Amino acid sequence: MWNNEIYLNDIDMVLNTKSIDYKKLKNKTVLVTGATGIIGSLIVNTLLMANKKKKLNCKVIAMVRNIEKANKMYEEQLKEDLNLNFLVGDIKEKIDCKDAVDYIVHAASETSSKMFVNAPLEIIDTILMGTRNVLDLAKEKKASKTIFLSTMEVYGRPETDEKIDEKHSTNLMTCEVRDCYPISKRTAENLCFCYSKVNDIKIDVLRLTQTFGPGVRYDDGRVFAEFARCAIEGRDIILHTKGETKRSYLYLADAVSAILTVLTNEKSNEVYNVANEDTYCSIYEMANLVAKGHNIKVKIELDDIEKYGFSKTLHLNLDTSKLQQLGWKATKSLEEMFDNLIKTMKE
């Protein structure tokens, strides 16, 4: 993606985001977990481009599990000597980092709904053990701030279109296996703030809605990727539910601009919702938006949703006013998000 025009335009957009104080990152070291994921890799690439264009001299440590995959993904960036270093390790194990670390973005997370149902214990271990290991590293390195990426799913399954701010309650069910993911994320959030109080570290939590954009793999299993594949291949969109779940969405570059805004902001120990409020719609409405622009149809073939790992019907209408008070705002509409996703997936 380093040479993809749309992707590079997205990086430029983040570099020009006024709510990000890039001076805070000058001559600093930023460690990013999950650096081969779509969010983690865009954070890494944005910082590398900032080194190139803003002369930040920011050392970027990309934590990865698979060094071969990382070398391939960052092949061009490594040639340019933009201050990129790899740290190979499993987030579930103690993080052995010899370098000084000023900032940490913990972006490593499993996002496959099928995994939430088929491998719940692995999901729980990855979230809770991984977060504890990141916090231990933040304490050890006396990091200036750590960012933990959480999820909109911590709010459970709201049943109305009411606005959901960061203080909203939850109706998650401990007896529901699929809820292992949001319950573990919610527990990890509390772990962050308890750890902060005991060990005096600065941390912020960002609850992201479903996020996509250039860089999503063609075989990604999430619903937005399937809609994009249908558009590319000329296949009708088949829904296995009535598509009544409603949520907001978020463009990948907007997510990264939000993360870097909070990372470089003086405030700490806060929770922020991150979404484009204008994209709030049902899955059925989103399917029709994609179908209309690509001469395909939307068909409903009801099936057992549990085998797909789908969440039950919910309404997640996130209120992002707290984040917007820091100067951040979303930039891409849902239609623009899909246009850029489809163009890059074709390539």
Whole-number pLDDT of residue 319: 98
Of the chain, the end-to-end C-alpha distance in Å amounts to 10
At 139-165, the pLDDT tens digits run 999 999 999 999 999 999 999 999 999
Instruction: Tell me what the mean pLDDT of segment 247-256 comes to.
Output: 98
Residues 6 or more apart whose CB falls under 8 angstroms from that of 339 comprise none
In a domain, 257, yes or no: yes
In a domain, 222, yes or no: no
In a domain, 346, yes or no: no
Whole-number pLDDT of residue 347: 86
In a domain, 12, yes or no: yes
Q: Write out the DSSP string of 193-205.
A: HHHHHHHT--EEE
Closest by Cα among 116, 110, 75, 74 to 91: 110
Torsion of the alpha carbons at 97, 101, 104 and 106, rounded to the nearest 10: 0
Tokens of 243: 């598509």
In a domain, 236, yes or no: no
Instruction: Tell me what the mean pLDDT of segment 131-139 comes to.
Output: 98
At 279-329, the pLDDT tens digits run 999 999 999 999 998 999 999 998 765 655 566 789 999 999 999 999 999
Q: How far is CA 251 from CA 211, 276, 324, in A?
A: 6, 8, 16
Q: What mean pLDDT is reported for the chain?
A: 95
Distance CA 270, CA 189 (A): 10
In a domain, 182, yes or no: yes
In a domain, 100, yes or no: yes
- Please report, for the domain that includes residue 271, its CATH number: 3.40.50.720
At 96-121, the pLDDT tens digits run 999 999 999 999 988 888 899 999 99
In a domain, 66, yes or no: yes
Owning domain of residue 11: 5-216+249-277+319-331
Number of domains in the chain: 1
Closest by Cα among 1, 25, 4 to 74: 1
Rg from Cα positions in the chain: 19
Distance CA 308, CA 146 (A): 33
* pTM > 0.85: yes
